[in-house]
Structure 1
Amino acid sequence: MTSTVYATRGAVAVITLNNPPVNGMNHAVRQGIVAGLDRAAADAAVKAVVIIGSDRLFSGGADIGEFGTPKTIAEPSLWTVIDTVEKSTKPVIAAIGGVCVGGGLELALGAHFRIAKPDASIALPEVKLGLLPGAGGTQRLPRAIGVEAALNLIASGQPAPAERFKGTALFDEFVEGDLLDAALAFAEKVVAEKRPLKLVRDIKVDHPQREAYFQFARNTVRAVAGPLPAPLKCVEAVAAAVGKPFDQGIAVERSLFMSLMGSPESRALRHAFFGERAASKIPDVPDDTPIRKVAKVGVIGAGTMGGGIAMNFLSAGIPVIVLEMKQEALDKGFGAIRANYEGAVKKGRLSQDKTSACLGLLKGSLSYADLGDCDLIIEAVYEDLSVKEAVFKELDKVAKPGAILASNTSTLDVNAIASFTKRPTDVVGLHFFSPANVMKLLEVVRGAATAKDVLATVMQLARKIRKTAVVAGVCDGFIGNRMIEHYGRMAALLVEEGATPWQVDKALEKWGMAMGPFRMFDLAGNDIAWAIRKRRYVEMPHIRYGKCADRLCELGRFGQKTGRGWYLYLPGNRNAIPDPEIEEMLAAYRKENGVTPRKISDAEIVERCIYALVNEGARLLEEGIAQRASDIDIVYLSGYGFPAHRGGPMLYADEVGLYKVARRMKEFAANSGDNFWTPAPLIAQRVAEGKSLT
C-alpha cells in the first residue's frame, strides 16, 4: 500500500493521502506529495492539482513517531512540501473533510485554495505535546483568520468547526455531497476563470492595539500555563507574525519550535501521549480478539463510588441497573446521580436533553435476580474480602453465562475473588478512582484466570466511557495504591524526623503534585490508611511506618469528615488550616520516642517521596505487575495528580539520571537503615547497563 495515490481526472491531478489510521505526514507521505506535484507539473494535460484525504479525515498532522529521529527533518521536510505547494505554477486546492489538524492544516494553508465540508474540524494541537506548530502554522493562520482567533486556536490546541471561519481567507468555499466531486468542480472553475494563485503568506496581518493585546495575551497565558513553556512561546510566535515580515516570522517560529522540541516538558508530554496509547495494548491479547457484547450493565452499590461508576455508562448511552439492599440507600444514591447531572447542566457542560436521556437509562433494584440479563456486573461494595465473597457467590447464581463479573476493589486479591465463583475466567478487576464519573484512570486488574476476550472487552469499553485503562497484575494495591503507600510512608517518617505536615505538602505541591500527601490523607480518611497499617504490622513487620499517624487516629482525627485530621477544617469549608495542636502532638511523640527533630530541606522531602514511587515502581516492573514503565507513569498522571510536565515518576527518574537516583537511594538506606531504600534490582541492572527505565 502506498502512502499517497496519484490519479488524473480530466485536467485535474488528484493526490490522495492514504496513510491510515490518521494520514500522518510521515516521510513517505511527504515524498508522495512532492512526487505527485512534480508529476503534475511535468504533465501539460494537467491544469490543476487537488490534495485530498477522505470525507472523515484530511490529515491528523505530523507523525510524532518520527520525533527525535532523522526522519523528522529528512527531506522533503514538511517545510519543503509546503514550499513546493506554494511554488506550483498550477493551482493547488486542498479539499478538507473531517479532521484537519497540525501539519495537515499547515499543508492546507500552503495551498492556493481551500474548500471544506461544513462539518470539518480544524486544530493546531501541538501545544498539548509541549510544542508549537513548526511548519508555518503560527505565521499563516493569523493571516487567514485574524490574530486573536488564531492565537486562541494555537495556544489552546483545541479543535474548532470549519464553519466558524466562513468568510475568512481560510476557506474559499464550503461544499456538500461528495468531496472529491466538489473539489474537481472547484478546480475546473478556478482554471476556467483563470483565477490568480493566492498565497496566505502574502496576506497583510496586523492588530489595532498590537502591543497592548500581546501583553494581555502573555499575562493571560502565563497565568494558566504554569510550568509549561509552550503556550507562552505560541504567543511569541504569533507576535512575530504580526511584527515581522513572513520569512523573519518563520525563522522565529522554527527557532522556538526547536527549543521546545528539546525541552524536558515536551519530552514528558510526548511520553504521556505515547504511553497512553501503549497502555491499551496487551502483548498476548491480539487486536482481533473477539469482543463480548455489553448492552446492559449492573452496578452493586449506590454509594458515592457505585453512583459514579453508573454515570460513566449512562453518559455513554448504556442502560444501567443499580442494586441496593434497602430502598432508602437506592433513593439516596439516585438523588446524588441526579444532582451530579443537574450540576453539569447548570455549568453548561451538559444539555437538559442529554441529562434526561441518561437518567432514562437508569433503573434500580433490591433483588439480585434483576441482574440476570446484564452483560457486565460491577460490584462497588465495602472493601472487605468476606463482603466481596458473599456478593460474588450470589452473582455466580444469577448472572447469565458469558456475563463479565467485575470487582471495583482497590487492594484486595482478585484471584481470591474469582475463586468465589465457578467462572473465574469471567472475573476481572475494574478499579475506578473517586469520583468515578470524573477521574480518568481505570486500573484493569488481570486475574490468573481472566479470559483474553474479557480483557479485550473491558479495554474497548474503557475507551467508550472515556477512561484511560491500564492493565495491572494481582498484588496488594495493584500499581497505584501499592506505590502510593510508600510515598505516604515516607511523608509520615519525614514528619517524625522534624518536618511539619504543611512543609511536606507545600514542598511537593510546589514541585508540581496536585495535592500534598497530608491533605490527601485527610481527604481520603486517615482511618482507611490506619486499617491498612494494622494489617501491615502483622503481615509485614519488617516495614517501618511512621506511627505518629496512628497517634493522630487514636485522637479521632480522621480528616475532613471529622473536621480535624492533619489539618483543621471549619464547618462547610474544605480549606486545610495548619493546626498548632498537631505540632504539639508531634513534639510529644518525638520526645516519647527519643527522636531529636532536625531541619529537613524541601529538596529532601521531594526526593524521599518521589524516589519512593520510583523504587516501588521498578519492583512492579520486575514482578510483571505492570507491563511497562510508561503504564506506571500513565497511572500516576491520570489518577494521582502527578505533574504532567514531569511525565510520571519513571520518566522523571530518567530525566534526573537513573545513576544519580540510585546513589541517592543508597544514601537514604545508609542514613535510615530502611531496607526499602536498597535500589530495586531492575534499577541496579539498568544503571550497570547505562540504560533508562522508560
Structure 2
Amino acid sequence: MSAEYTVQGQVAVITLNNPPVNGLGLETRTAAVQAIGRAEADEAVKAIVLTGAGKAFSGGADIREFNSPKALTEPTLHTLIRTVEGSSKPVVAAIHSVCMGGGLELALGCNYRVAAAGAQIALPEVKLGLIPGAGGTQRLPRLVGIERALEMIVTGVPVPSEKLAGSALFDELVPDASELLSAAIKFAENIADVRPLPKVRDRKVAHPDLDAFLKGARERVKAAAGAFPAPVACVDAIAASATMPFEDGLKFERDRFLQLKETTESKALRHSFFAERAASKIPDVPADTPLRNIAKAAVIGAGTMGAGIAMNFANAGIPVTILEMKRDALDKGFATIRKNYESALKKGKLTSEKLEERLNLISGTLSYEEIADADIVIEAVFEEMAVKAQVFRELDKVMKPGAILASNTSTLDINKIAAVTSRPQDVIGLHFFSPAQVMKLLEIVRGAQTGKDVLATALALSKKLKKTGVVAGVCDGFIGNRMLEQYLRQAGFLLDEGATPEQVDKAIEKFGFAMGPFRMSDLAGNDVGWYIRKRRAVESPHLVYSRTADILCELGRFGQKSGAGWYDYKPGDRHAHPSQLVNDMIADYSRQQGIRRRKVSDEEIIERLVYALVNEGARILEEGIALRASDIDMVYLSGYGFPLHRGGPMFYADTVGLPHVLEAIERYARGRHGEAWAPAPLMVRLAIEGKGFVS
C-alpha cells in the first residue's frame, strides 16, 4: 500500500503499489508525494516516470477508504496532483491496463503520458452519482476535446487507449505492454531538458459552436439521466472548462462534487456499489476455500427458464446439456434458444460467429445417463415438491461423485429436496430470474448441509455467468419472493379498497419501479401466483389474500402468454391496455365483500407496497435468512426492478427514517387486514435506538 522508488540512470521510477488496482489510499498518496520530493532533491535525477505495479496503473480512489476520514486526510488526491504538476522535473505517466477515476486524474496532472495499447481509460464517477472531483472535468477536455470528454465523463464507459491515440492525451502509444516501462524511461530521457514543462492546465478548450453544443448536450443528457442529477452536473462542469479560468473551473468542479456526494441518489449508488461486493463475502466461508471445477453443465427442463439457464452457460463458454422427457419439448426449448440468440443478432449484440459458437455448446438428451459426467446440474422443472423430489432421486442415482446438484426453485424447501438424496452436502438452490439469460440476480440458497466448497463454487460461478450472486437461507420464498408475497398481498388489498391495476402500476412506476405489480404479474404469468396461493391455502390457511387474482385466473386470464390478464393485449403488441372487464370484476368483488370503495392516493399505494417489502425484509434479516440488509437491497435492485436511485428497500427505509416507516405501518395496522402489518421486532428496536438497517 505504498509507492516504490527506484532510479534507472537519470530517471526516477515511482511505482504505485496498492493491490489489487493501486487505489490511491492515504498511504499510497503519502508515499507518492514523498517519492516526488525525493526525486526533486536528487540532483542526479533529471526526469520522473510514474507507473503502477501489477495489473493497473491506478483504478482511482481506494474504495476501502471511500467513506472514511482518510479520503480527506492530507495529502489528498488534489495535493498529490498539485505536487506532480508542480514538479520542477518532468513527470511522465506510464499507463497500462487500468487507468480510471482518480488514477486518470493523476495521469492528467503529469507533464506527459505514455500508454500501452489496450489500457482501459475512464472517468466512471457518474456511476456512483458523482462527477470527477480532482480535475478530470477540467483537464480531459483540454486533451481530447470537449465532445469526446463529455461522452466519456457522462457515460463513465472505459475507452481502450488506442482509440484515443489521435488525441493529445497520449504523447506515445506502446504496442506491447511489456515494453511500456522501458519506452517510458527512454521517452523521459529524451524530454528531460525540455522547458518550459507542458501542463494540461495551460491548454485551451475550443469548440466551433460552443453554446449550441452545450445546449444540445444538456437537453440530451437531462432526458437520459432520469432521477440522477450527476450526468447533468457533468455537463455543467465540462462547460466550465471552456468558459472559466482553470482554477475557477477546478473550484466549480469541486463544489459540485461535494454537493453531489451528499445527495440521496449518490449515497444510494455508493451503497449499491459496496453492497454488490459485500454479497460475495460469507463469514464462515474463507476466501481461500477450494472450489469445485465446473467444466461441463446440465439443465433439467427445456422450458423458458431451463432454456435461459442453458444460455447462461453457453454465454460463459461452458458446454451444457439440456435434459427433457419428450423430444417435442426438447425441440421447443432449442427453438426458444435460437430465437433468443437471433434476436440478439438482429440488435447487433451478437455476431453470427458467436451465435453459432454458443449454439454448438448446447446439446440435448432424453436420458439421465447422458448427463452423468456433468460437474453441475440445475433442475428447472415444475414448481412442485413431488416433481422436484423425483428429479433429485434420479440425479442422485446417476450423477458422478462431487457433482453439484442445484434446484432453480423459487419458493420450495431446499433441505427437503436435499433429503431425498444420499449427498445433501452437494445440494444447493440456484434461483435464476426470468428471463434467465438477461436478469442479473442469482439467489443462491444455502441448505442446512450444503458444503462450504459448494457455496463458494456457486458464488464463483455467479461471477463467471455475469450474475450478482446473493446468498439466502432456507424459508418459503427465500429473500426475494418471500418479500414479494407481502407486496402482492397489499397490491390485491388496494384493488379491493378502491384502486385499479393501472393506478397501482402507475403510482409505483412513478416512484421508480421498472414495472408495477400487475404488469409484472402479467409478464411472469398469473397462474404462477395462483399455484402458490393454492399451496398457501393448505400450508398457511391463516394468510388472507384478495380473491381478485384467483378470479382472474379462473377466467383464463394468465397474462401476456394468454393474451389477457390484468390488462388486455393485442396480437404482436406487449403494451398493456386497461381492461374494463377486469375493472368491473374488481368492483363486483368489492361489493360482494361488503367493501365500500374509496379514492386511494398514490402516496398510500407507494407506502403500502414499499413498506410491506421493508417490514418483511426486517423479519428476514432478524431470522438470518439474509446475512445483511445490503444483501436484501441487492436482491431487489438486481432482480425485482426496485429503483436504483433509491438504493433498495432497506436503504430507502433508512433514508425515510425508521420512526416514520414504523408510524405508517402502525397506522395501516389499524385499518383493514391489519394483521398483515404486525411490525417486525427488529424494525421496532432499531427505530427506538435511532438506528437504521444499513447505517
Q: 2:671 aligns to what SS in structure 1?
A: helix
Alpha-carbon deviation of 1:581?
1.8
Q: 2:57 aligns to what SS in structure 1?
A: strand
Tell me whether 1:162 sits opposite 2:161 in the alignment: yes
The equivalences for 1:587-626 within 5 A come to 587-626=587-626
The equivalences for 1:125-140 within 5 A come to 125-140=124-139
The one-letter code matched in structure 1 to 2:347 is K
CA contact (8 A) 2:22 2:53 kept: no
Alpha-carbon deviation of 1:653?
0.1
The one-letter code matched in structure 1 to 2:188 is A
Counterpart Cα distance in 2 of 1:376 and 1:64 = 34
| Structure 1 residues 108 and 289: CA distance shift in structure 2, 3 A | same
Counterpart Cα distance in 1 of 2:130 and 2:68 = 16
Partner of 2:109: 110
The equivalences for 1:38-53 within 5 A come to 38-53=37-52
* Aligned-residue CA RMSD (Å): 1.2
Counterpart Cα distance in 2 of 1:549 and 1:312 = 33
CA contact (8 A) 2:507 2:602 kept: yes
Partner of 1:30: 29
Counterpart Cα distance in 2 of 1:68 and 1:290 = 33
Counterpart Cα distance in 1 of 2:350 and 2:521 = 32
The one-letter code matched in structure 2 to 1:127 is V
Partner of 1:179: 180
Q: Percent identity, aligned pairs only?
A: 61
The equivalences for 1:78-157 within 5 A come to 78-157=77-156
Counterpart Cα distance in 2 of 1:569 and 1:295 = 43
Q: 1:155 aligns to what SS in structure 2?
A: helix
The one-letter code matched in structure 2 to 1:570 is K
Counterpart Cα distance in 2 of 1:142 and 1:579 = 53
The one-letter code matched in structure 1 to 2:181 is L
Counterpart Cα distance in 2 of 1:425 and 1:384 = 22
Alpha-carbon deviation of 1:331?
1.7
Gaps of 5+ in 2: none
Deviation sequence 1:353-383 (CA, Å, 0-9, x none): 2222222222211110011111001111111
Partner of 2:11: 12
Alpha-carbon deviation of 1:347?
1.6
Q: 2:570 aligns to what SS in structure 1?
A: coil
Deviation sequence 1:296-323 (CA, Å, 0-9, x none): 0011111111111111111111111111
Alpha-carbon deviation of 1:677?
1.4
The one-letter code matched in structure 2 to 1:122 is I
| Structure 1 residues 557 and 361: CA distance shift in structure 2, 3 A | closer
The equivalences for 1:528-543 within 5 A come to 528-543=528-543
The one-letter code matched in structure 1 to 2:512 is G
CA contact (8 A) 1:300 1:322 kept: yes
CA contact (8 A) 1:22 1:60 kept: yes
The one-letter code matched in structure 1 to 2:343 is G
Counterpart Cα distance in 2 of 1:507 and 1:569 = 21
The one-letter code matched in structure 2 to 1:522 is D
The one-letter code matched in structure 2 to 1:459 is L
Tell me whether 1:578 sits opposite 2:578 in the alignment: yes
Q: Which range is displaced more, 53-62 or 37-46? A: 53-62
CA contact (8 A) 1:544 1:674 kept: no
Alpha-carbon deviation of 1:39?
0.8
Q: 1:25 aligns to what SS in structure 2?
A: coil
Counterpart Cα distance in 1 of 2:194 and 2:251 = 33
Partner of 1:482: 482
Counterpart Cα distance in 2 of 1:208 and 1:55 = 42
The one-letter code matched in structure 2 to 1:12 is V
Alpha-carbon deviation of 1:673?
5.0
Partner of 1:264: 264
Deviation sequence 1:523-560 (CA, Å, 0-9, x none): 12222212212222232233221122222222222222
Counterpart Cα distance in 1 of 2:372 and 2:539 = 39
The equivalences for 1:232-381 within 5 A come to 232-381=232-381
Partner of 1:548: 548
Alpha-carbon deviation of 1:195?
5.3
Counterpart Cα distance in 2 of 1:407 and 1:673 = 35
Partner of 1:447: 447
Gaps of 5+ in 1: none
Partner of 1:77: 76
Counterpart Cα distance in 2 of 1:252 and 1:480 = 43
CA contact (8 A) 2:2 2:32 kept: no
CA contact (8 A) 2:21 2:55 kept: no
Partner of 1:54: 53
Counterpart Cα distance in 1 of 2:67 and 2:368 = 55
CA contact (8 A) 2:14 2:49 kept: yes
Counterpart Cα distance in 2 of 1:148 and 1:646 = 31
Q: Which range is displaced more, 138-147 or 20-29? A: 20-29
Deviation sequence 1:162-200 (CA, Å, 0-9, x none): 111113211000123422222211111112x53541111
The one-letter code matched in structure 2 to 1:316 is A
Counterpart Cα distance in 2 of 1:693 and 1:163 = 46
Q: TM-score, normalised by structure 2?
A: 0.98
Q: Which range is displaced more, 328-337 or 426-435? A: 328-337
Q: 1:574 aligns to what SS in structure 2?
A: strand
| Structure 1 residues 166 and 523: CA distance shift in structure 2, 3 A | same
CA contact (8 A) 2:19 2:54 kept: no
The one-letter code matched in structure 2 to 1:171 is F
Counterpart Cα distance in 1 of 2:343 and 2:103 = 38
Alpha-carbon deviation of 1:325?
1.3
CA contact (8 A) 1:92 1:112 kept: yes
Counterpart Cα distance in 2 of 1:519 and 1:315 = 29
Alpha-carbon deviation of 1:55?
6.1
The one-letter code matched in structure 1 to 2:179 is D
Partner of 1:188: 189
| Structure 1 residues 56 and 66: CA distance shift in structure 2, 3 A | closer
Alpha-carbon deviation of 1:670?
1.5
Q: 1:437 aligns to what SS in structure 2?
A: coil
Counterpart Cα distance in 2 of 1:194 and 1:140 = 21
Counterpart Cα distance in 2 of 1:693 and 1:442 = 23
Counterpart Cα distance in 2 of 1:174 and 1:469 = 39
Alpha-carbon deviation of 1:573?
1.2
CA contact (8 A) 1:54 1:97 kept: no
Deviation sequence 1:26-63 (CA, Å, 0-9, x none): 11111111111111111111111111113631011112
CA contact (8 A) 2:20 2:55 kept: no
Counterpart Cα distance in 2 of 1:240 and 1:388 = 62
CA contact (8 A) 1:16 1:52 kept: yes
Deviation sequence 1:233-276 (CA, Å, 0-9, x none): 00000011111111111111011100100000000000000000
Deviation sequence 1:456-514 (CA, Å, 0-9, x none): 11110110110000000111111000000110110110110011111111000000000
Counterpart Cα distance in 2 of 1:301 and 1:582 = 34
Alpha-carbon deviation of 1:342?
2.2
Deviation sequence 1:414-434 (CA, Å, 0-9, x none): 101101110000000000011
Tell me whether 1:641 sits opposite 2:641 in the alignment: yes
Partner of 2:569: 569
Partner of 1:501: 501
Tell me whether 1:218 sits opposite 2:238 in the alignment: no
Tell me whether 1:410 sits opposite 2:410 in the alignment: yes
Counterpart Cα distance in 2 of 1:125 and 1:398 = 49
Counterpart Cα distance in 2 of 1:500 and 1:359 = 44
Counterpart Cα distance in 2 of 1:589 and 1:358 = 50
The one-letter code matched in structure 1 to 2:407 is S
Partner of 1:686: 686
Counterpart Cα distance in 2 of 1:66 and 1:55 = 21
CA contact (8 A) 1:92 1:111 kept: yes
CA contact (8 A) 1:131 1:257 kept: yes
Q: 2:132 aligns to what SS in structure 1?
A: coil
